[in-house]
Amino acid sequence: MKNLDGRHKLAIVGAIVCWALSVWFSYLGFRIDSDKIAFVGWILALVVTVVELVFNSQTGKLSLTLVVTGILCYAYGIWTNVTGFWELQHPGIEFIIFSQKSIMPAFVGIIMEVLPEPLFMWGLMSNMDGDFLGNMVGLWNGKLSYAQPSQSQQAHTNQSTSSSTPKFNPSHKPNFNPAPRTRPSVDGEEPTYHPMNRMTPMKKSAPYSE
């Protein structure tokens, strides 16, 4: 935080405020008839926020389940934000999608749901690989894909096998050139070669006399 300038700090504060409003709108948009499970709206709002943070990365690093779940979470968050803001703006009136009154809730709900994650990442000066709109456009154009566990696991296995297995070069041959050996002299002279081991040389015996 000390290395961040005023713009980045304001972006972090703004993202936190947008998150708080988004969670509140989402809770209001989670309409249920029973008050006993009203807390589920808060839990779902928090879980959706976490999934959206994960989704703000390249889809190539995410599994197909996380990609589909991220899209569904954004759809749920946008809908509950829009209907939740409608509940505050027009209490007691049933939500109407195609009406002039729904334009403002639509703007506020979409902004509160899509903006906080990339704004927070930018405030932290984090290396953000993707965002919601960028990933959606990339998936629509076919420029982005999801991670395939089988291929990534196979590549990791091949890499670990190649790194652990020693390489064998069949063209390499050991350089072994033994010293030539000559037969010792019969007259008792010292041999012309030196022994290769560390054995103690034999002592010369006394000459034989009759």
Buried b vs exposed e over 41-50: b needs ≥16 C-beta within 10 Å?
A: beebbeebbe
Residues in the chain: 210
Find, among 122, 108, 107, 88, the residue nearest to 15 by Cα.
122
Q: According to the model, what pLDDT value does residue 38 have?
A: 79
Q: Give dist(CA 23, CA 25) in Å, integer.
A: 6
Instruction: Judge whether 74 and 54 are in contact, CB under 8 Å.
Output: no
pLDDT, tens digit only, all 210 positions of the chain:
557 777 888 988 999 999 999 999 998 888 777 777 878 888 998 999 888 888 877 666 778 888 889 889 999 999 999 999 999 999 888 888 888 888 999 999 999 999 888 888 888 776 556 666 666 666 666 665 666 655 545 545 555 555 555 555 556 555 656 565 555 555 555 555 555 555 555 555 555 554
The predicted structure's pLDDT at residue 133: 65
Q: Quote the pTM value.
A: 0.61
